[in-house]
Amino acid sequence: MANIGNADADCAALHQSIWDSIGARKSRFGDHVISEPAFVPAPEGYTDGKPGENFPVLRFLDRALEIARKHEFKPIVNAFADIADRLPWSQNPRYTAGNGGLNLLNGYAYASLSGPEGPIQCLSPRGGFYLMGPNVLYPSHNHAPREVYLIMTPGVEWALDEGDWFPVQPGELIFHSPWQMHAMRSGDQPVLAYAAWLDPGNREAIGWSKEAGA
């Protein structure tokens, strides 16, 4: 278990449950088994998120929780729901109407559990709950840190290396290698997932597909 500093017992237990779940499965492609990465402490005062409490997508949180409870992660979802109002919600400051599009800016937010802004303060592992509203496109992009998504709701599609879209089901683990292009889009229901960077990295250092924001 990582050195989680002064995080309270609820956050610590949720963090451990998530990484136990991640480590108990293989990624959909490549059969990667992902262990919790080494804990890298964050410098005091470091942050690179765009915090907020009124992101438009938060109106879909209750519906996303309701959907997620119907699948295998109900205990994790309930534990998240109990502390969701205590976790810092943010967006990536690199995302603008010009690169990600207004559809993305109005349609996603991230609740940090571990990371510079989270109650478990560190550079790695940087993980949190990713909420996407209905009919939202997360355009193709990439970044240096390796990344995993643990999917908790149905109805989301993925594209890797700017290839064809494919559906992803609750319980699946998607792994992105360094600088691998990836995109996501939701259908008629909101999406909830746990997303984590396995290596330290700057959230502003994102590369976009030439089609992003078009």
Residues sharing a CB contact under 8 Å with residue 70, sequence separation 6 or more, in sequence order: none
Residue 4 has pLDDT above 90, yes or no: no
Task: Supply the pLDDT for residue 1.
Answer: 42
Residue with more model confidence, 155 or 44: 155
Length of the chain: 214
Q: For the chain, what are the domain ranges?
A: 9-199
Mean pLDDT confidence for 143-155: 97
Q: What confidence category does residue 212 fall into, taking pLDDT thresholds of 50, 70 and 90?
A: low
Predicted model pTM? 0.94
Task: Supply the pLDDT for residue 213.
Answer: 47
Structural fold of domain 9-199: Jelly Rolls (2.60.120)
- Name the β-bridge partners of 197: 126, 147
Least confident window among 90-94, 106-110, 186-190, 208-212: 208-212
Mean pLDDT confidence for 2-20: 83
Angle between helices 9-23 and 74-83 in degrees, nearest 10: 150
Residue 138 has pLDDT above 90, yes or no: yes
Residue 26 has pLDDT above 60, yes or no: yes
Helix (H) or strand (E) holding 157: strand 156-160
Alpha carbon 100 to its chain centroid, in Å, reads: 16
Residue with more model confidence, 94 or 14: 14
Task: Supply the pLDDT for residue 214.
Answer: 40
Task: Supply the pLDDT for residue 211.
Answer: 60
End-to-end CA distance of the chain, in Å?
43
